Amino acid sequence: MPATADQNKNRPDAVSFMEAFIYWLKLGFISFGGPAGQISMMHQELVERRRWISEQRFLHALNYTMVLPGPEAQQLATYIGWLMHGTWGGIMAGALFVLPSFFILVALTWIYLIYSEVPAIAGILYGIKPAVTAIVLFAAYRIGSRALKNNLLRAISVAAFIAIFVFNLPFPYIVLMAGLIGYIGSHYMPDKFRSGNHHAKSKDTYGPALIDDDTPIPEHARFQWSRFIAFAVIGLLIWGSVMVMLAMQYGWSGVLTQMGWFFTKAAFMTFGGAYAVLPYVYQGGVEHYMWLNAVQMIDGLALGETTPGPLIMIVAFVGFVGGWSKAVFGPEMLFLAGAAGSGIATLFTFLPSFLFILLGGPFVEATRHDIKFTAPLTGITAAVVGVIVNLAVFFAYHVLWPNGFDAAFEWFSALIGIAAYIALFKYKAGIVTVIILCAVVGLSYTLLLGHF
């Protein structure tokens, strides 16, 4: 929206820590729509309306978070909170982006495990599952349309699909190989791997911001070796102390200990967002550790799509179901076991995200006009498209042939999925809207025809 003359003349007043706290808490409860929707929501509120940060600074921070493994919207919130109010501001913004979703998911997962066999609940899930399949397929299209700009990147995407679909190659290997191809390609074919994330400066579009294009770097955002080492040591101590306590209490092979180790690795594999890491979480949670089954994994993604916060919060669902199904505290304390698994999964997934911002932020602020590390991401993003298509195929199989190819084809699920994809692709419907409508259709189908 164009700025008024009054906006152009007046810079916003300084923002108190409490005012920022209220905003980040509110965002944690309303941040639906996945990373694209969440980033758009922050841009509209922080850049356009409140003018806490200029568009150039906002996009520069976004470029950095796009390079990192982890949920970019949550990391962007952490970065802006850190830039505005230092270390505690970043921790506050990042934590509040996650905590509402965590508590909501814990409650919903408990309800799901207790009541999922009730016909009404089963009917709602029947409608949601094909919608989730359509959403994942649409995510592949949306990312691919932006990322696959030439035939080389398209070839990487196809190769990644074949690697995971045909050869069942672990997701981390695919990420590493794609990143290596991007790094090598940046030296020999730089035009093929040039990032499309550079944005033109939009000076005076919304009026002066509190943190404007020319605002000096605040003292807490300047690089200091002492601060860098302190954050690295504190982060390692938090991670190491929890892992040691889990290993001492339950042994290295214990369920909670293995959850801590597994989700630590997952945190470094989330290049390209939550959809990209879901195959890795599936391979570990379903196939290797057997914390949950394939149908529960799809149900968890459905719950994740309908709650606020980053979609990678599905790890809280996986952790809860794993702790519950393995009864780590005995059969009398299943909820406590689930909550513990959920908490461990969340802690180890998001701890690296905070460290990436607190450790790397000063470097990014010092090089606001010279980002040189996007070529490996370009290769990884291309591979991620193929991996997401594989995920859509996996979901489609379990939704349309829930009892295997020898059993009946779920034609009504197929119709729901096709309608959901058309709504997303042609009519630009919101994800939450599509899920709600599909849930209503599934529930109606159940109640009217007695499907279950």
pLDDT > 80? residue 34: no
Q: State residue 115's pLDDT score.
A: 84
Please name which of 344, 351, 341, 349 lies closest in space to residue 291, comparing C-alpha atoms: 341
Q: Which helix (H) or strand (E) holds 404?
A: none
Highest mean pLDDT among 79-88, 147-156, 178-187, 397-406: 79-88
Please name which of 174, 176, 101 lies closest in space to residue 388, comparing C-alpha atoms: 174
Beta bridge partners of 187: none
Q: What percent of the chain has pLDDT over 90?
A: 43
Q: State residue 355's pLDDT score.
A: 95
Q: State residue 213's pLDDT score.
A: 82
Q: State residue 198's pLDDT score.
A: 42
Which of the pair, 6 or 256, is modelled with greater confidence? 256
Tokens encoding 234: 């504190």
Compute the average pLDDT of residues 341-369.
Answer: 90
Reported confidence tier of residue 407, pLDDT bands at 50, 70, 90: confident
Q: State residue 85's pLDDT score.
A: 95
How far, in Å, CA of 31 to CA of 26, rounded? Answer: 9
* Average pLDDT of the chain to the nearest whole number: 85
Which of the pair, 103 or 387, is modelled with greater confidence? 103
Reported confidence tier of residue 157, pLDDT bands at 50, 70, 90: very high
Reported confidence tier of residue 2, pLDDT bands at 50, 70, 90: very low
Reported confidence tier of residue 289, pLDDT bands at 50, 70, 90: very high
Compute the average pLDDT of residues 164-178.
Answer: 84
User: Per-residue pLDDT tens for 290-304?
Assistant: 999 988 988 888 788
pLDDT > 70? residue 6: no
Which of the pair, 185 or 319, is modelled with greater confidence? 319
Compute CA distances 165 → 170, 246, 392, whole Å: 10, 35, 11
Poorest-pLDDT segment among 22-26, 179-183, 414-418? 179-183
The domain limits of the chain are: 17-114+131-195+223-400
Q: State residue 140's pLDDT score.
A: 82
State in Å, rounded, how far the first CA of the chain is from the last one: 50
User: Per-residue pLDDT tens for 262-280?
Assistant: 999 988 876 656 666 777 8
Reported confidence tier of residue 372, pLDDT bands at 50, 70, 90: low
Q: What is the pTM of this model?
A: 0.75
Q: State residue 168's pLDDT score.
A: 82
Please name which of 364, 367, 383, 62 lies closest in space to residue 193, comparing C-alpha atoms: 383
Reported confidence tier of residue 7, pLDDT bands at 50, 70, 90: very low
Q: State residue 395's pLDDT score.
A: 80
Q: Is the dihedral of CA 349, 259, 309, 143 positive or negative?
A: positive
How far, in Å, CA of 187 to CA of 409, rounded? Answer: 50
Phi, psi of 211 (to 5 degrees): -105, 95
Poorest-pLDDT segment among 107-116, 215-224, 233-242, 379-388? 379-388
Please name which of 259, 271, 359 lies closest in space to residue 312, comparing C-alpha atoms: 271
Reported confidence tier of residue 5, pLDDT bands at 50, 70, 90: very low
Q: State residue 261's pLDDT score.
A: 96
pLDDT > 60? residue 283: yes
Q: State residue 169's pLDDT score.
A: 84
Q: State residue 325's pLDDT score.
A: 94
Which of the pair, 363 or 103, is modelled with greater confidence? 103
pLDDT > 90? residue 433: no
How far, in Å, CA of 170 to CA of 120, rounded? Answer: 37
Reported confidence tier of residue 371, pLDDT bands at 50, 70, 90: very low
